[in-house]
Amino acid sequence: MTTTHQASPNNMTHDITLVGAGMCGMFSALAMAQKGHQVTIFERDSVPPAGDADKAFFEWERKGAAQFRHPHAFLGLMCNLIQQHHPELLARFQEAGARIVTLEEMLPPKLRNRYTAAPGDEKLWVLLCRRATMETVVRRYVENIENVRIVSDRTVTGLLVNEHDGQLDITGVELGERTGGHEPARHNSELVVDASGRTSKFPGWLAKLGRPVREEKEDAEIVYFTKHFRLRPGEREPTRSERPGAGDLGYLKFGVFPGENGHFAIILCVPLGENVLRRAVRDTGLFDQICLNIPGLTPWLENARSEATTEPFGIGDIKSVWRHFVTDGHPLATNFFAVGDAALRTNPLYGRGCSTGIKHAQLLAEVIEENRDPVTRELRFAERTEEELRPIFDASLREDRSGIKRARAVMEGRVLHRPDSLKKWFRLAFGDAVRAASREQLHVLRGVMKTFHLLEKPGDFLKDRRIQATIFRYMVRGRKRNAAARLQPGPSRAALHDLLGLSRPSRSPG
């Protein structure tokens, strides 16, 4: 079935070139098409293979998407935007086996037993399936939209520009040759949108044109490894318990990601300095042994409940990056916009990339509709991006920095959570109280989950008077009691090395 989107009467429509047919590219195309724009997408990779989700997962070559086979989950922000703007697409996800998991289903037994629904709970849900399934479903949905054209196996090699009065206008893109084809080497359009992801070539092209893109960049100092599994016939997922399926042992982060149709993935995230352990997690047998010694992961693998479908594989170069396309109040170029990872990216461990990508796409579609002047559009898009996405970016940076400190403290044999000032004591005590209260009080957990799902700015829930009073009460009862919420069940660094038969880790110099 072909879908046609008509422009609103007051909207000026454009011919738009969009580079990249990944998740952000597809949702950018949807957002633009809904406003009536004509969208042409250029994608360097091939089309998804015909067939089911397994065919896509094992056979689709997606060199342009580094995280294609790493686990994903759609957070509440993305889920609600899909439900609001693309309800038919949500139905397609479910038909492909994607699962909706509600707040109640995510609660540990102690809280679930006394759960009563409250207004807003319906927004706190996730959609779970493999990235390959997500991309295949979205791609086939977008292919049926009349005002969107996808050109696969076609590489964008440069920009078409027009410079006048010191202003650089982007007028289209240059294209590489396509095997067996004779399409033009240039494609002109009114607007160009970069959705090509973290390896975008656009900053380099702009720099060659005398418009260098300023970047903020910080390394998360981790590498993480994924291994996929499938439940054996007749087996069911373990029930949710008090043992968390995700956590941080200081020297190792872990998480399990349920997928569709019995598939699931486990990630093990290792600090760059843990050289012995980093080599160990590449070994499929040692990967499983590590999981079997972490209480939150054990139920997924014990008693031959599941079988592996891949070997462990990793992803590195994990950095937070923010690119500035406006300098001192002046856009580097007009009629050009970067969305998603091409503009900003956070540690993929937090699973925020798809959600911020679709939000960014919606912001761009609104800015284009509301502003006709090219310079005003650029400035307003930069402002909206800063307003809506910078708080999420900054929160991710803080989490990265905290994780680096924890990892270094463990490696150096230091006690990180022993404060040396009253200010530090209060900050640590407050954090312990929030964690403890969120494990035992539903109203506090709801506030935390709104931040987790990106439905409000990080920390906004702390403005709630009732939550403030609860956290203060937990602080009064003492930090020692609250600190138990910070501790994750699992072996110590030295104990895990012994269990795996690895050389005992030495302490790094402090």
Q: pLDDT tens-digit profile of 17-57?
A: 999 999 999 999 999 999 999 999 999 988 888 877 778 78
Check residue 133 and give its pLDDT: 87
Check residue 7 and give its pLDDT: 46
Q: Is the pLDDT of residue 3 over 90?
A: no
Regarding predicted confidence, which is higher, 478 or 236? 236
Q: Is the pLDDT of residue 5 over 90?
A: no
Handedness of CA 409, 412, 414, 419 (dihedral sign): negative
Segment 234-250 mean pLDDT: 85
Averaged pLDDT of the chain: 89
Q: How far is CA 140 from the centre of its chain?
A: 22
In the chain, helix, strand, coil percent, each to 5?
A: 40, 20, 35
CATH number for 1-72+129-215+318-400: choose from 3.40.470.10, 3.50.50.60, 3.30.300.30, 3.40.718.10. 3.50.50.60
> Number of C-alpha atoms within 13 angstroms, CB side, residue 375?
6
Q: What are the strands, taking DSSP E only, across 125-213?
A: 126-128, 148-151, 156-164, 167-175, 186-188, 191-194
3-state SS, residue 163: strand
Place of tokens 């090395």: 497
How many Cβ atoms from other residues are within 10 Å of residue 375's Cβ? Answer: 14
User: Which of 223, 425, 449, 185 has its CA nearest to residue 317?
Assistant: 223
Residues forming CATH 3.30.9.100 domain(s) in the chain: 221-315
- The Cα–Cα gap between 133 and 231 comes to 18
Topology adopted by domain 221-315: D-Amino Acid Oxidase; Chain A, domain 2 (3.30.9)
